[in-house]
Structure 1
């Protein structure tokens, strides 16, 4: 058997290619929209991708499951479980809707479908047995967003992203039953999760790429809380707010979108479009065009820019051409094909905003852009709290001529906030050095 994990650092997402070396057939598990890397590896190893399977309708990246069927003429397998209202729509030919205990055969490799709801109602996992290698016992579980290393999938995305009231508690109870349902599997079962550290699909995902069920039984909190009500409370509390693009991901992955097609980005001819500066916050502080928004192109790029994207509107990117091209491709992985142009960075300061200032505690107009949990753990008495992801679409309760002091916890989100405030017409913005974590104890 051939096995390879593909990990995308920007999506914190894992997909897999599994091949039967006897028959030359291969299957992709949870493919992203750009199939290039799977096709290249399959070709180099002598496999033909004949099948693909998906664990659930994803909310954090654009699925490539339909592209596999259309581009590679392969059979695809998606969940036939769950609520019809939330099920897959507009699926192509070669689609197979599978349910609990169904079998997917890839040459001499057997995948047994397990219905493991909780993260979503239709979520399934795939239990792999390498029959071609002479085994009669399962080797591992493609767990999707069911079991992660050190954590499990959050059940609240349907309620928070798609506004389906009451689904969080239902999902949490389903997750409790799903965990109970796999406890009897052998401890040696490997866990091949759909995400790693940095993904918003859980609270405390580990950075290790895979685990074993036995290890998770000992170390994963979800296997050690036996009271259902306590389990539900723990799972549903303190989940981070999902970026705005999650709602769009749910929509396009349920109903489909156009096939992936890379495209070129050329110099922008429209300075009125919203523009995202891909440089580091330090470079942005050194000089930027007023009203441009600083989202550094790093591993947190998608989780940050996802708050501000309107999938009906074009954007410009600011950076060197190579970085812009990489960022454009990364945005396509969340289904955003609307990068209209790029602009080269400006080295001169074209704004009145001041960066890296200290705070005295006497400032009148203080904007705290941290999340609700951080705010509740301590804040300045005179501060106004608007989480950074809401700034672009919220009314800012200050006058345009006011000097506004903005801060977050460490200085990253406040740097983003500076550009947003400028974009909304505030010209006298002061970014507080290093954020709340560096405030004198006397102010906290």
Structure 2
């Protein structure tokens, strides 16, 4: 048997390839939308990708499941569990719909389907047994967003992202029962999760890429609860705010997307910039001068997680970036289901559009008379609850474009996050909304607390 884990750092998302080395058949599990990495591995190992499957309808990235059928002619397997409110649609005719107890065979490797609802009603896990090696014991389980290293999948995304009221409590209740199913499996069985640290699909995911069921039973908080109500209370509290693009992902992964294909993106400086504008420079460069209306999301490992809060899926996109990044930008945006990048303005030519700037203030200067200032805290809810300035107003940075602010647009507003990264993004959003007098607090809440001591 061949086994390989693929990890997308920018989305904290994990996918897998399993192959039978005798028959050369391979299956990909929870594939991301850009499939080149799987194709390269299969070619290097002499495998044919004959099958593809996923554990559930994902909310945090655009699935490559249907593209696997288009590109490799892979047979697709999807869950047919859950209720009628959330089912796969527009699938290829030969798709096989899975129920609890079904088995996918990849040569002499078997994947048994276990219905593990909670994160979503249709969620399944796959228990792998390598029959070709003569084993009758399971080697491990692909758990998707059911069981993580150190955590468990959140049950509220259908309610938060798809506006299906009441599904959070139902999901948490189902999750408790799904955990009980794991009692039938040996502790040596490996756990292969769908996400790692940094994902918003749970609240305390570990950074280790895999675990064992025995280790999780001893160390994962979810196994410490025997009382269902106490478990539900803990599971549904203090989950991180899901980025707004999650709602789009649930829809496109249910209904399908066109096949992803790279295109030649225009590079230049036209008189009018099309659609939404993302400025990918550093916050230090952006503050000195920028095009009002542009959202400043620096191009680094957090780009997708931050940009996902603001992408308008009904409008084309202009980016201020390096033109040589066109390919990787298209691929990364495609992983969030966005395919309409129309223009790249080269960094060194973008100053012709600049019509605004903003100022920073040191935390030492702020705290001298902080009680008289309008302060906006743009951190997460959990960060805010852990400690805050008593006169600060709290709005998560990702909701600044859709929430009413408690300040007039002519008032001076001082903005902070935890360390200064998200508040810089917030500055661009507030400027785009017409707030003229916004000031960024350097070093965020960490700096403020230090200046107050």
Q: CA deviation at 1:138?
A: 0.9
Q: Distance in 2 between matches of 1:342 and 1:398?
A: 35
Please give the secondary structure, in 2, of the residue aligned with 1:6: strand
Q: Comparing 379-388 with 50-59, which one deviates more in the overlay?
A: 379-388
Matched, 1:340 2:368: no
Q: Deviations over 1:176-205 (max 9, x none)?
A: 111110122011111111111111001111
User: What does 1:155-170 correspond to in 2, within 5 Å?
Assistant: 155-170=155-170
Unpaired runs of 5+ residues, structure 1, are: none
Q: Distance in 2 between matches of 1:41 and 1:198?
A: 26
2:358 equivalent among 353, 357, 378 = 353
Q: CA deviation at 1:381?
A: 3.8
* Aligned residue number for residue 39 of structure 2: 39
Could you state the TM-score of these two structures normalised by the residue count of structure 2? Answer: 0.93
1:275 equivalent among 274, 277, 281 = 277
CA contact (8 A) 1:380 1:443 kept: no
* Aligned residue number for residue 399 of structure 1: 408
Q: Distance in 2 between matches of 1:440 and 1:67?
A: 50
CA contact (8 A) 1:69 1:93 kept: no
Q: Distance in 2 between matches of 1:434 and 1:352?
A: 19
User: What does 1:366-405 correspond to in 2, within 5 Å?
Assistant: 366-405=375-414
Q: Distance in 2 between matches of 1:267 and 1:253?
A: 31
* Aligned residue number for residue 439 of structure 2: 430
Q: CA deviation at 1:352?
A: 3.7
CA contact (8 A) 1:291 1:421 kept: no
Q: Distance in 2 between matches of 1:334 and 1:344?
A: 23
Q: Distance in 2 between matches of 1:331 and 1:292?
A: 17
* Aligned residue number for residue 99 of structure 1: 99
Q: Deviations over 1:209-229 (max 9, x none)?
A: 111111111111111212111
Please give the secondary structure, in 1, of the residue aligned with 2:59: coil
Structure 2 CA distance for partners of 1:345 and 1:400, relative to 1, 3 Å: farther
Please give the secondary structure, in 2, of the residue aligned with 1:183: helix
CA contact (8 A) 1:318 1:324 kept: no
CA contact (8 A) 2:288 2:358 kept: no
Q: CA deviation at 1:350?
A: 5.0
CA contact (8 A) 1:15 1:30 kept: yes
Please give the secondary structure, in 2, of the residue aligned with 1:393: coil
* Aligned residue number for residue 410 of structure 1: 419
